[in-house]
Structure 1
């Protein structure tokens, strides 16, 4: 498979959105353009021997800026979440051990539903080979946003 078809395959799978900044990636831009498409083939965290590396779509500049620094996927300011967990760390733990993890707290069911929908969409690009479900579980007058491996 040539690089162009690999880029198209990853771009189509990821909906032409950068896994790092979550902004659209223009497939018509040159791969040498800062806002052009690139494929990030580095696993999140420390890649263990024999662990497959997931390729993800990124802007060339986002991919370059990330470099050797641990990437951070931010929760958007528009979501009403309290104590949000670092998304990449959660994905790494769940990919190794499975199960479930509380990733944030939300004051209302509607806030939990909105944050959950965003998180599932975001994870489809961050960890396309994994399957997750998310739900808001009531407790203590709030809703715990719980991410599970499916």
Structure 2
């Protein structure tokens, strides 16, 4: 099996940046085709964090578009969110310190519950070695969604 096949299998043929399926039959030159994002490996060599788990599968377009900058992981457009935190930064902080972090505020309980479920599912692929739990708490007329993980170090 090739390196691409191994990494794709690890990530269930889903792009770690946009979380959409990667077409395994597409050419490596096709924007929706598979590519290996090795920028995360450089971070590991620096000893910064282990949340990314090394090389990851990405669409050619997502990998090219992000270049050498930290990618922005999109939040779902179907849920009304207030001041959502950047998910890569949240993953890095939780990996480094563990504990609890408020990630977003929602206007109603239903949206907060949907967001909590989405976050747990998304983090299972974004940072597979770092299990998280989500909680929803009322606060200031809105609902706070927080992620919690045990300190890993």
User: Normalised by the size of structure 2, how large is the TM-score?
Assistant: 0.83
Contact 1:19 1:122 in 2 (8 A): no
**Unpaired stretches in structure 1, ≥5 consecutive residues:** none
Residue 45 of structure 1 deviates from its aligned partner by 9.7
Counterparts of 2:42 and 2:107, CA distance in 1: 31
Moved more, 60-69 or 45-54: 45-54
Aligned-pair Cα RMSD in Å = 2.2
Report the equivalent of 1:41: 38
Contact 2:40 2:56 in 1 (8 A): no
Counterparts of 2:5 and 2:41, CA distance in 1: 22
Deviations 1:72-98 (A, max 9, x none): 112122112111011111111111010
User: Normalised by the size of structure 1, how large is the TM-score?
Assistant: 0.85
User: Per the alignment, do residues 7 and 46 of structure 1 end up closer, same or farther by CA in structure 2, a change over 3 Å counting?
Assistant: closer
**Unpaired stretches in structure 2, ≥5 consecutive residues:** none
3-state SS of paired residue (1:43): helix
Residue 110 of structure 1 deviates from its aligned partner by 1.3
